[in-house]
Amino acid sequence: MSYHKDEKLKELLQNALQKDINLKGYALKGDVVEGEAQLQGIVDTLAEKEHAGNLTKNISGIKKVDNSISISTDGDITDSDVAFEVSEELSANPNINLKHISAKISGGVVTLVGNVTDPAEIEEARHTASKARGVTKVVSQVKVQKSEMNLEQIFHSQVNNDED
């Protein structure tokens, strides 16, 4: 790949980072070498880091992203602070049922646990937890289970079994 094309991609990347409403205040840096973007800088949340990576991936011509953006918050944030913020974020999201999913925090790593019937709820919870300050990684141990059958479905499954 030519040096000129990398320079054009670098210019597109810098413009995208500087104009994005969620990222423009961070002065993030992006470089492109042989079609691979390298991101550097500091943001407050994992969600912002992931957003910068996704923004970069969407630039036509960029083949790979090395997202070296660091997550740092003002002051010391303990795991109990992170747990509080994660809990607030999850509680505020109407698409997440806290009877299905809960979070454990250790060293800034959020581990989601529980059982859901809809896999989309896991991704929603992962993304929502990543918005909390102090979160450096979100891991899901949530299991997807088949939904409970209602009485009509149970009846029909029994009738169908009886016909065999």
How confident is the model over 89-130, as pLDDT tens digits?
Answer: 999 999 999 999 999 999 999 999 999 999 999 999 999 999
The fold of the 3-71 domain, in CATH, is Histidine-containing Protein; Chain: A; (3.30.1340)
Rounded to whole angstroms, the Cα distance separating 83 from 17 reads: 29
Which run of H or E residues covers position 57?
Answer: helix 46-57
> The tokens of 110 are what?
């959020």
Tokens of residue 10, six digits: 């670098």
Helix axes 46-57, 3-19, angle to 10 degrees: 140
Same topology between domain 3-71 and domain 79-144: yes
CATH of domain 79-144: 3.30.1340.30
Say what the pLDDT of residue 3 is. 72
SS3 160: helix
- State the pLDDT at residue 158: 58
Q: So what's the pLDDT on residue 21? A: 94
At 15 the pLDDT is: 95
C-beta separation of 121 from 93 below 8 A: no
- Residue-level pLDDT at 60: 94
Q: Which regions in the chain score pLDDT beneath 70?
A: 1-2, 147-164
Q: Are 135 and 147 in contact (CB under 8 A)?
A: no
- Answer yes or no: are the C-beta atoms of 126 and 139 closer than 8 Å: no
Calculate the average pLDDT of the chain. 89
Q: Where are the domains of the chain?
A: 3-71, 79-144
Report the pLDDT value the prediction gives residue 69, as an integer from 0 to 100: 95
